[in-house]
Amino acid sequence: MASTSDSDKPSVSNVEEKRSRLCDEFAAITGSDSAVAQCYLAENEWEMERALNSFFEADMERVFEDFPDTQASPKTKRQKVEEKRPGDCIDLTADSPASTRKPPEEDDNKLSLISWNVDGLDTDNLAERARGLCSYLVLYTPDVVFLQELIPPYVQYLKKRAVSYLIIEGGEDGYFAGMMLKKSRVKFVESQIVTYPTTQMMRNLLVAQVNFKGQKLCLMTSHLESCKGHAEERMKQLRVAMQRMREAPDDVTVLFGGDTNLRDTEVAKVGLPPSVCDVWERLGKQEHCRYTWDTKTNSNKTVPYISRCRFDRIYFRPATKDGVPRLAPDHMALVGLEKLDCGRYTSDHWGVYCSFSAG
């Protein structure tokens, strides 16, 4: 006689459908075929994250073989720190960061975006941290990704592993910003690099024109000048970005995001065009998304003080032309809040996830 619990078991067809979908997702992110996907998934009990980590492990060291010694003393490594000021230490609220992930293709008409400073200049555990980024791409399947502090080997790795994305680079040497566009959803038209004439930190503005579901989008990302002492240059750079947003054609939706290093007082001095909004502010200034640089929670950088800042920001300007679909921000969350197996986070910054729906 059959057990009474048999009726509670998933049907064979449902299991096959789920595993077939997992194989398709695995193959898309790794650039492998279904046989390879099935092998890695089966060996890892059909858990996507474990299977991806196993796959990426194979030749990771070769991709990063030109990196400097990853065990170098912390004293010799670049540390991104801000000067401590009285009053800078603000307690976080008890709110838990949002964990809602983008649902499957039922949100077909929503545009999703992740912006993240991946801290490529910190070479400690960089291989595992790059794998961590790819795991988040699998989990959230963003249409657009803005990245800052990329270095050439990191880009090489992404090109090998995130093959379902087109990667646009904002530079070739040192470190730079970049974009990733999901090929099946976002159609690339053209891109350009806008220089900041007086930058002392190799910063620029990366601009891409794309189409999404028949809508024209202008995507912009940048890593604005760092540190409190460079506020004037940072505000100059913000003015360049805001001018681009303001002057875009009225049938184009504009998104600008990245590691802006901005303080609210600096934004107030520059001023936002009337048509441009700060997405975090538009969505109600939710506390769980406020601090993207948080040395109390994020231990990747060893600093002798606590600093919480909203350095990573997303700005939005909708299309205004009659008859053109209007996107509007509807959700924001922080990503990268889980420690990796190495005991560190994917970056010293949290990533910012946003979604936009047609109004």
- Chain-centroid distance, C-alpha 97: 16
Q: At what angle do helices 34-43 and 12-30 cross, to 10 degrees?
A: 110
**Rounded to whole angstroms, how far apart are CA atoms 13 and 240?**
55
Torsion, Cα of 243, 247, 250, 255 (10° steps) = -30
Give which of 336, 120, 351 is closest to 258, Cα–Cα.
351
**Alpha helices per DSSP H over 205-329:** 231-247, 264-270, 279-282
Is 317 in contact with 273 (CB distance < 8 Å)? yes
Residue from 122, 259, 312, 348 carrying the catalytic annotation? 259
**Rounded to whole angstroms, how far apart are CA atoms 141 and 103?**
9
The Cα angle at residue 337 between residues 57 and 291, in degrees rounded to 5: 140
| Terminal Cα distance for the chain, rounded | 56
The Cα angle at residue 62 between residues 56 and 66, in degrees rounded to 5: 130
Is 126 in contact with 348 (CB distance < 8 Å)? no
Which amino acid makes up residue 25? Answer: E
Two tokens, residue 260: 């802006």
**Rounded to whole angstroms, how far apart are CA atoms 171 and 265?**
30
Is 113 in contact with 356 (CB distance < 8 Å)? yes
341 counts as catalytic: no
Q: Specify the DSSP class assigned to residue 10.
A: P
The Cα angle at residue 133 between residues 128 and 136, in degrees rounded to 5: 125
**Rounded to whole angstroms, how far apart are CA atoms 264 and 270?**
10
Is 212 in contact with 109 (CB distance < 8 Å)? no
Q: Which residues are catalytic?
A: 259
